[in-house]
């Protein structure tokens, strides 16, 4: 890691030196007023002020002063005694001078010797665990996917983003676009934190009928502004340039809780054809509330659903509400409410559950008893799952790949947070019950850069060791059919030369698919740090010192969801994750892993009898 940070520092220094050679020389000076307030004076501003970060430090307050009531201080963990990495802070272009105030940072902190001016910021990868083919921000922190929408051949992925550090804070909507759900182009943040608060999660729609009055096919974003002063309130912004920039509605907020509820966030807006209206579902503590509107600005309360449903205790967040055919039959449609909860995961922390039922235009009626819990994914690192709008009949969801128990302290610096692979959702019946499958989208086949075929084989109690012919930096997809026959256990281990391994196996006696990451690489990490400001939620705090009990575990899923005696597995391996899809997504399981060198071998095994492995393929993956 030190070597990587050294290269980043050198790149920034070079950029600053080049900037200093321009015809109008830039200059910076610091005016310390007392011990914790500094005025920064810049003449002929460059594009960026490069800020040194130390994650263990308290947050300083960095504000660009323009004289506008909209000036907003950002929370930045400026380095006090050592520099871990850098982030850029944009400066006004074309101005002769710029002034910033930096509060809550001591006058003798090391940051004052390390702050630099530059016209470029090097975003080349400096982090060992950056995934090969999963979406991540170029730098900074990312959590929930927001505003997923498809328009004019582009998939828009907005996301909770902190551009000023790799820990939670300064919530903006980051923005990436793709034409195939696999290759992503990074754009500037679309919606920035403002005086109403952090920009929390939400959704985006295409206003095909010009309901809001900003033009036919305008992109309308809905999000929660969150702060101590204003609470959690729902706001709106619109874009007429294909989602690149947004203008916030001048009369925000558009919706506030009628009962003063503290936890009221994450609006999902959709068009409900039978009523010819827009509908909004909002998380309201341990409920979801429904509203309707004709103009996207004025909203009428309809009903609420959820208290006491699913696993307990829980906090409802990041809802979605979709309609799907059962077993592909368009004459049998069901509504599905996706609910992201924290806590509640059977393995600790955050997870995604769902409820299947009917919707009459006012109320949602669940098919199952309150005590029934259905999981969309059986791993520990699958959260804030929401679906794309404007995709027609296809329903594609994107999760955040982490868990609030340790998200802020994973062994990463340049960025934190990745999205799991996009999943296509569908409904199927099993033993008279309706479940939702989540399978990797077909577009993932475009990641395949080569395939190594291994002969079919039959195992007894012996172990079989095979080389793992991976693609770039250990990235691969395993595809196989496993028939346990008389075996009680049949599985395989992803291994490396250090003996680190992720163990994946079918436990036929218990009726479970298991992924065990207790020996997968780094499994204990983290440091004690102060909680975030009061305006954040409890689950975003970092309080535990040792994460071995939270991270080093096995997750499991019931094999009863699958069809029969043979199980088809697709296993996606990246630099810091393993995702399993069984029988077209009837079981999905997503877990982070941190091997210190890439996995390079497969070790198959069986216990208690014979098992068959057929059609084994190792696809080398890369972008």
Active-site amino acid positions = 144
Helices (H), 422-564: 548-551
Residue 428 tokens, joined = 């199927």
Provide the H-helix boundaries in 426-562: 548-551
Cα–Cα distance list, 253 to 220, 280, 401, 455 (Å): 14, 14, 30, 61
Q: Give the separation between CA 142 and CA 162, rounded to whole angstroms.
A: 7
Please tell me the distance from the alpha carbon of residue 244 to that of residue 239, in angstroms, as a whole number. 7
Identify the DSSP state of 559.
Answer: G
Q: List Cβ neighbours of 184 (8 Å cut-off, separation of 6 or more).
A: 135, 157, 176, 177, 178
Cα distances (angstroms) measured from residue 127 to each of 131, 308, 411: 9, 42, 10
Count CB neighbours of 328 within 10 A: 10
Q: Are 371 and 353 in contact (CB under 8 A)?
A: no
Distance CA 401, CA 385 (A): 9
Dihedral of alpha carbons 544, 138, 226, 74, sign: positive
Please tell me the distance from the alpha carbon of residue 124 to that of residue 86, in angstroms, as a whole number: 13
Contact 599, 386 (CB under 8 A): no
Residue 123 C-beta-side C-alpha neighbours within 13 Å:
11
Cross-strand bridge partners of residue 292: 279, 300
C-beta separation of 198 from 266 below 8 A: no
Pairing mode, strands 448-453 and 567-574: unpaired
What's the 3-state SS for 602-613? EEEEEECCCEEE
Q: How far apart are CA 408 and CA 401, in angstroms?
A: 13
* Residues in CB range of 293: below 8 A, 6 or more apart: 211, 277, 278, 279, 280, 299, 300
Distance of CA 130 to the CA centre of its chain: 14
Residues 33, 40: Cα–Cα separation, whole Å: 11
How far is Cα 496 from Cα 71, in angstroms, rounded to an integer? 51
Dump the DSSP string for 477-509.
Answer: EEEEEEE-TT-SEEEEEEE-TTS-EEEEEEETT
């Amino acid at each position: 890691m030190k070597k990587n940070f050294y290269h980043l520092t050198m790149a920034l220094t070079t950029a600053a030196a080049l900037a200093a050679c321009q015809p109008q020389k830039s200059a910076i000076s610091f005016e310390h007023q007392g011990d914790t307030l500094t005025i920064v004076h810049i003449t002929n501003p460059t594009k960026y002020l490069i800020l040194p970060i130390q994650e263990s430090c308290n947050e300083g307050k960095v504000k660009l002063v323009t004289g506008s009531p909209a000036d907003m201080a950002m929370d930045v963990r400026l380095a006090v005694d050592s520099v871990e990495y850098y982030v850029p802070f944009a400066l006004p272009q074309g101005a002769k001078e710029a002034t910033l105030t930096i509060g809550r940072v001591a006058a003798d902190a090391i940051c004052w010797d390390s702050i630099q001016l530059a016209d470029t910021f090097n975003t080349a990868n400096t982090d060992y665990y950056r995934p090969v083919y999963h979406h991540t921000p170029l730098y900074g922190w990312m959590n929930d996917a927001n505003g997923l929408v498809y328009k004019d051949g582009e998939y828009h992925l907005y996301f909770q983003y902190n551009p000023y550090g790799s820990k939670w804070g300064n919530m903006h909507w980051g923005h990436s676009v793709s034409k195939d759900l696999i290759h992503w182009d990074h754009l500037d943040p679309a919606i920035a934190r403002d005086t109403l608060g952090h920009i929390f999660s939400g959704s985006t729609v295409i206003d095909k009928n010009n309901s809001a009055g900003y033009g036919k096919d305008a992109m309308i974003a809905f999000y929660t502004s969150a702060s101590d002063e204003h609470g959690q309130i729902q706001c709106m912004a619109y874009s007429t340039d294909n989602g690149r920039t947004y203008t916030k509605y001048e009369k925000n907020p558009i919706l506030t809780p009628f009962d003063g509820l503290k936890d009221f966030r994450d609006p999902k807006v959709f068009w409900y054809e039978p009523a010819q209206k827009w509908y909004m579902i909002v998380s309201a503590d341990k409920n979801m509330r429904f509203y309707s509107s004709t103009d996207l600005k004025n909203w009428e309360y309809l009903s609420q659903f959820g208290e006491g449903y699913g696993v307990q205790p829980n906090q409802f967040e990041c809802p979605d509400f979709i309609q799907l055919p059962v077993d592909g039959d368009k004459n049998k449609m069901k509504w599905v409410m996706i609910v992201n909860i924290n806590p509640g995961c059977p393995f600790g922390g955050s997870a995604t559950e769902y409820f299947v039922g009917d919707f009459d235009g006012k109320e949602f009626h669940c098919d199952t008893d309150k005590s029934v819990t259905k999981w969309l994914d059986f791993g520990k690192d699958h959260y804030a799952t929401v679906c794309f709008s404007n995709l027609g009949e296809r329903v594609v969801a994107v999760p955040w790949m982490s868990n609030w128990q340790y998200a802020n302290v994973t062994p990463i610096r340049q960025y934190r947070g990745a999205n799991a692979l996009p999943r296509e959702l569908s409904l199927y019946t099993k033993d008279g019950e309706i479940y939702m499958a989540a399978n990797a989208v077909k577009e993932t086949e475009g990641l395949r850069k080569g395939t190594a075929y291994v002969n079919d084989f039959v195992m007894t109690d012996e172990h079989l060791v095979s080389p793992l012919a991976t693609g770039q930096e250990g990235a691969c997809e395993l595809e196989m059919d496993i028939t346990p026959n008389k075996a009680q256990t049949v599985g395989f281990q992803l291994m490396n030369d250090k003996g680190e391994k992720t163990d994946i196996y079918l436990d036929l006696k218990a009726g479970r698919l298991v992924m065990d990451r207790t020996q997968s690489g780094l499994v204990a990490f983290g440091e004690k740090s102060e909680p975030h400001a009061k305006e954040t939620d409890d689950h975003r705090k970092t309080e535990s010192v040792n994460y071995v009990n939270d991270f080093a575990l096995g997750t499991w899923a019931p094999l009863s969801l699958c069809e029969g005696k043979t199980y088809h597995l697709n296993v996606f391996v990246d630099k810091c994750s393993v995702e399993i899809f069984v029988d077209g997504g009837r079981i999905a399981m997503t877990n982070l892993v941190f091997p210190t060198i890439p996995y390079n071998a497969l070790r198959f095994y069986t216990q208690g009898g014979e098992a068959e492995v057929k059609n084994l393929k190792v696809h080398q993956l890369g972008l």
